[in-house]
Amino acid sequence: VGSNLDDPVAQVGHALSELDELPRTHCAARSSLYRSAPMGPQDQPPYVNAVAALDTALGPDELLERLQEIERRHGRVRGAQRWGPRTLDLDILLYGDAVLSTERLTVPHPGLCERSFVLVPLLEIAPQLEVPGQGSVASLAEACAMAVPERLEAAP
């Protein structure tokens, strides 16, 4: 889950609640929120990121469809700029231990292994997790060269 526009902390918080409300889906764990410098174009605000573990009976394509629906409700506009700013980004990082590559969806997420803003929150909720073909989240986080994101304190 990521956002860097229109109150990113609120965008991410609301999105996490909406994930738990998806049909045939239960949010089993959610990480803290983390703030980090933008990866990609630097002339955009910092990002707030989090990760969630979902138990779901939705297949990967249907899940992706539902996530894009939530993104649209959050005013997501698909801009021309790669890695440009966005109100809400919901990416499927892993789907069980599936390895998928279709036109619309690649799982594990191709950027997962290089992105500290993904690995650090993932490590928080799933320290034992293995990424198919890539090793443990712990070893990937250890090896990641990107600056560590700042963990935000939960609102009182």
Catalytically active residues, by annotation: 76, 86, 89, 91
Residue nearest ligand PH2, Cβ-based: 2
DSSP state of 47: E
By CB under 6 A, which span of 5-13, 19-27, 31-39, 135-143 interacts with ligand PH2? 31-39
Q: Does 49 bind ligand PH2 (CB under 6 A)?
A: yes
Smallest gap from residue 156 Cβ to Mg ion (A): 30
Count of residues in contact with ligand PH2, rule CB under 6 A: 10
Residue placing its CB nearer to Mg ion in the complex, 89 or 124 = 89
Q: Is 146 in the site for ligand PH2 (CB under 6 A)?
A: no
73 touches, from ligand PH2, Mg ion, none (C-beta below 5 to 8 Å by class): none
- Dihedral, 72, 76, 78, 83 alpha carbons, nearest 10: -130
36 binds, among Mg ion, ligand PH2, none (CB under 5 to 8 A by kind): ligand PH2
Span 62-91, contacts to ligand PH2 by CB under 6 A = 83, 89
> What value does the CA radius of gyration of the chain take, rounded to a whole number of Å?
15
The DSSP 8-state label assigned to residue 89 in this structure reads B
Of the candidate residues 8, 13, 33, 36, the single one contacting ligand PH2 (CB under 6 A): 36
Query: Strand locations in the chain, DSSP E?
Result: 2-3, 25-30, 34-36, 47-49, 52-56, 100-101, 106-107, 130-131, 135-136, 150-151
Q: Which does 87 bind (CB under 5 to 8 A by kind): Mg ion, ligand PH2, none?
A: none
Backbone dihedral region of 116: left (phi > 0), alpha (psi from -120 to 50 degrees) or beta? alpha
Q: How many CA atoms lie within 13 A of 78 on its CB side?
A: 5
Give the position of tokens 């990937």: 140
The residue ranges that bind ligand PH2 (CB under 6 A) are: 2, 36, 38-40, 47, 49, 83, 89, 117
